[in-house]
Chains A and B, each alone.
Chain A
């Protein structure tokens, strides 16, 4: 079993839709949670960063962490064609002593006109 599971998609939605992207994880020591956006042929770009359970909002993006269920989500409101990309969740084990990111495999999102 992978430490971080993420549905690879592809996910296709119409412009303006609300998008929900999710990851589950098995390691209860994961304490830091990130969402990266990766456009084709580009490196991952940090989108959202959360530490505790709960919600964090930034513009059209909301990150949600439920540590009791080992489940994190990224919501995109009013999705735009420019949101078309692969979204990677990433986590850090706080007990390991290092800053190693453990990624999901990414969900490919396409927002269509």
Chain B
């Protein structure tokens, strides 16, 4: 089945230690998104890639960066994780970037900070 796959499902890191989360997709979609979902809160968009074009949300902290080496893969890098970065990180894709294009989510990576 075509899908959005996130690895690992659970990640534990130490305060200040860089961490990378991975997302891959077999849908061949042009757009990939990263959302942050804290406990009992709404998912919040961090940034998205349209093909290789990177688009950052204005309020996304500089501590968060992303890479998309090819159509299938996208990475979320957190340079110096703080306790407030503990959350579920969700990757999503859509076929195109036009307004209203349905987004399909992976099962997320739950990040814990020690």
Contacts and interface: CB of A to CB of B under 8 A. Distances in A.
Given A44-B90, A105-B40, A105-B41, A99 B104 contact: no
A101 B90 contact: no
B97 A98 contact: yes
Interface in A39-58: 41-46, 49, 51
Chain A interface category by residue count: 20 to 34
Nearest to B90: A43
A46 B100 contact: no
Contacts of B44: 103
A88 interface: yes
A99 B90 contact: no
Interface stretch (B13-21, B70-78, B105-113): B105-113
B107 A42 contact: yes
Interface string A62-81: 00000000000000000000
A43 B99 contact: no
Interface in B49-108: 55, 57, 90, 92, 94, 97-108
Contacts of A49: 102
B45 interface: yes
Contact of A106 (B42, B97, B101, B105): B42
Interface of A: 4, 8, 31-32, 34, 36, 41-46, 49, 51, 88, 92, 94, 96-106
25 contacts: A32-B99, A32-B100, A34-B102, A36-B105, A42-B107, A43-B90, A43-B92, A44-B90, A45-B105, A46-B102, A46-B103, A49-B102, A51-B100, A88-B43, A94-B100, A96-B99, A98-B55, A99-B31, A99-B94, A99-B99, A100-B48, A101-B45, A103-B44, A105-B40, A106-B40
